[in-house]
Amino acid sequence: MPEGTALADRRRTQEERSQETQERILRGALACISLNGLQRTSTHDIARKAEVSRGALLHHYPTRASLLEAAFSLLLDEEIDRISEFSETLSRDGSAIGVLIDFIRERYSGPLFYVTLDYLALARVDEETMAAVMPGSTRYIEKLATLWDKCLAEVPLSAERKNALMDQTMLLIRGMSFQKIWRDDPTYFDAILRDWTDQLRRQLSTPE
């Protein structure tokens, strides 16, 4: 094997190992934050969860802010990939509105919502965290909007009305997710969302 090829293979292997370590660190961070909350998660906790030395963690992410930003971006980027995949299944005439609402509710029922909530709570009083979460949050919100655009593309309503219905639905789902923190009552929330979905279907079937 030529010397140049051997060096390239070794370099590629080192890069792959570096990427694997970074992913372990980021997933360890998200697991710790989901379990213990952002404020109670330390770099020591993350290193332990990722099974790496603290030196290795600091090599890849010299500051806590850089680590938190990268972890949040990973979480949202994976959610964006799921949205893109789901988008392929949507019809354009509004008939899939119930499926769309169930999908969004599911996204707001797991680690995404609770980890995001922790980040936003800290961002409210910390400019560095705000700067870290804004780019990924903006990408995610824009991607969600594309789902609504596709689902309602052929519905005879104005763009303004469609946007209003999207905003109302998202506010409802986010509010339900927040309230679930202290009210664990799936039947209660299911009934509310079914009622709203029925209202949406009636509005979508009534041209302006």
Tens of pLDDT, residue by residue over 140-161, are: 889 989 999 999 999 999 999 9
| Residue 163 scores a pLDDT above 60 | yes
pLDDT at residue 125 in the model: 87
| Residue 4 scores a pLDDT above 80 | no
pLDDT at residue 196 in the model: 96
| Residue 2 scores a pLDDT above 60 | no
The pLDDT tens digits of the residues spanning 34-84 come to 889 888 899 999 999 999 999 999 999 998 888 988 999 899 899 999 999
Residue ranges per structural domain of the chain:
1-62, 64-208
The pLDDT tens digits of the residues spanning 21-38 come to 999 999 999 999 988 988
> What average pLDDT is seen over the chain?
88
165 pLDDT tier (thresholds 50, 70, 90): very high
Largest CA distance in the chain: 71
pTM, 2 dp: 0.81
Axis crossing angle, helix 111-123 with helix 3-36, rounded to the nearest 10? 80
The pLDDT tens digits of the residues spanning 90-133 come to 999 999 999 999 999 998 887 788 888 888 888 888 888 888 78
194 pLDDT tier (thresholds 50, 70, 90): very high
Q: What CATH number has the domain spanning 1-62?
A: 1.10.10.60
pLDDT at residue 10 in the model: 57
| Residue 5 scores a pLDDT above 60 | no
One-letter amino acid of 44:
H
CA 84/CA 144 separation, integer angstroms: 9
Residue predicted with more confidence, 122 or 206: 122
Residue predicted with more confidence, 5 or 141: 141
CA 112/CA 82 separation, integer angstroms: 12
CA 33/CA 39 separation, integer angstroms: 8
| Beta-carbon contacts of residue 104 (< 8 Å; ≥ 6 apart) | 144, 147, 169, 170, 173
User: Which tokens go with 83?
Assistant: 């949205």
